[in-house]
Amino acid sequence: MKYLKHLIEKKKKHDPIIALTAYDYFSARILEECGVDIILVGDSYGMVKLGYDTTLPVSMEEMLIISKAVSKAIKESILIIDMPFLSYQISIRDALFNTGRFFKETKAQAVKIESLESNVKLIEKMVKMDVPVMGHIGLTPQSVYKLGGYKIQGNDSISAEKLVRLALALEDAGICSLVVEGVSAQCAGKITRKLKIPVIGIGSGPFCDGQILVLDDILGLNPDFTPRHAKKYIDLFSIIKKAVREYSDNVRTGKFPQKKYFVSMDQKEQKRFDKRTERF
């Protein structure tokens, strides 16, 4: 089993950290078997699996169900779970209670919190209560309306400086690692060099300690949209569609099911059966 300290060791060795999201048992098994360092149960689940327009409607209950499924597959990888919108913002009591549910019911080693200047103090309090927190700055999807859309952050010197300050404040608050999303490569690179903790980038260029992507994006499961930052390694939507078409065609033409897919009574038993049901 890898622990959070494994990420620090990788940073020190300049060995890139590999992270991906998962939302179910078998996807998590694949990630495990490929040696992925961090499996994140992201609230992106709401958008890629439930078809929501934003991550805002995702609930604690939804996150718990999928986190438990992912957790069952965990052997070596580090499981980190996203705190969904409104599960931590209202009070430290809520934040600790909801975090506690993830630690109690799954093998999570940390929770991820979308981090703004306004919640650095809350994160500090959580860390003081021994909760390992992964920060998340830049394009923070739970603030999509405040940000005015899913736009690149830290693309000018003033906003980039603000992000570096926020990253440093979060490190001081005690976070164990930081996701930097949708930030200019220069800004993400500077943050990575300034921080001792591991910095994982998404759409933030090559200078981070590691990379994270949404699994469904690299598998090509959404035919309508692939974010600019995501490389589509396979077009699973088309592959699955081809399989479903072939199956439908097989059923229509009687090619499925063949003998190996069902059981038959022997002749004697069939005769008895016909007799028993004759009068129906």
Q: Which residues are catalytic?
A: 181
- Per CB under 6 A, 21 contacts ligand KIV: yes
Residue among 11, 32, 80, 82 that touches ligand KIV (CB under 6 A): 82
Nearest distance from residue 158's CB to ligand KIV, in Å?
Answer: 25
- To the nearest 10°, report the CA torsion of 14, 109, 215, 119: -90
Amino acid at 86: L
**Token digits of residue 171:** 């490190």
Query: For the chain, how big is the Rg over CA atoms in Å?
Result: 24
Q: Output 73 or 158, the one with its CB closest to ligand KIV.
A: 73
* Strand-strand pairing, 78-82 and 199-202: unpaired
CB of 269 to ligand KIV, least distance (A): 54
Q: Which is nearer to ligand KIV, 50 or 243 (CB)?
A: 50
Q: Fill in the per-residue mask, 88 to 127: x = in contact with ligand KIV (CB under 6 A), - = not in contact.
A: ----------------------------------------
- Is 163 an interacting residue with respect to ligand KIV (CB under 6 A)? no
**Quick one: which of 175, 44, 59, 45 has its CA closest to 121?**
175
Q: Of 122 and 212, which has the nearer Cβ to ligand KIV? A: 212
Q: Whole-number minimum distance, CB 72 to ligand KIV, in Å?
A: 19
Please work out, in degrees rounded to the nearest 5, the angle formed at the alpha carbon of residue 244 by the alpha carbons of 241 and 247.
150
43 binds ligand KIV per the rule CB under 6 A = yes
To the nearest whole angstrom, how small is the minimum distance from the Cβ of residue 21 to ligand KIV? 4
**Contact stretch for ligand KIV (CB under 6 A) within 37-45, 169-177, 232-240, 263-271:** 37-45
Q: What's the full length of the chain, in residues?
A: 280
Residue among 82 and 171 whose Cβ is closer to ligand KIV: 82
Near ligand KIV by CB under 6 A, which window of 36-44, 158-166, 190-198, 226-234?
Answer: 36-44
- Please state, in angstroms and rounded to a whole number, the distance separating the CA atoms of residues 168 and 178: 10
Cβ-based neighbour number of residue 114 at 10 Å: 24
How many CB atoms sit inside 10 A of residue 60's CB?
A: 17
Is residue 42 a contact point for ligand KIV (CB under 6 A)?
Answer: yes
Window 196-255: residues binding ligand KIV (CB under 6 A): 202, 212, 214
37 Cβ partners below 8 Å, 6+ apart? 2, 6, 7, 10, 17, 18, 19, 77, 78, 210
Q: Which of 108, 175, 179, 183 binds ligand KIV (CB under 6 A)?
A: 179
For residues 124 and 113, the answer to whether their CB atoms sit within 8 Å is no
Say whether 41 sits in a helix, a strand or coil.
strand
The nearest distance, CB 254 to ligand KIV, in angstroms, is 44
- Of these, 6, 11, 44, 101, which contacts ligand KIV (CB under 6 A)? 44
Question: How many amino acids of this chain bind ligand KIV (CB under 6 A)?
Answer: 12
Cα gap 46→84, rounded to integer Å: 10
* DSSP designation for 183: B
Which residues of this chain interact with ligand KIV, rule CB under 6 A?
A: 21, 40, 42-44, 82, 136, 179, 181, 202, 212, 214
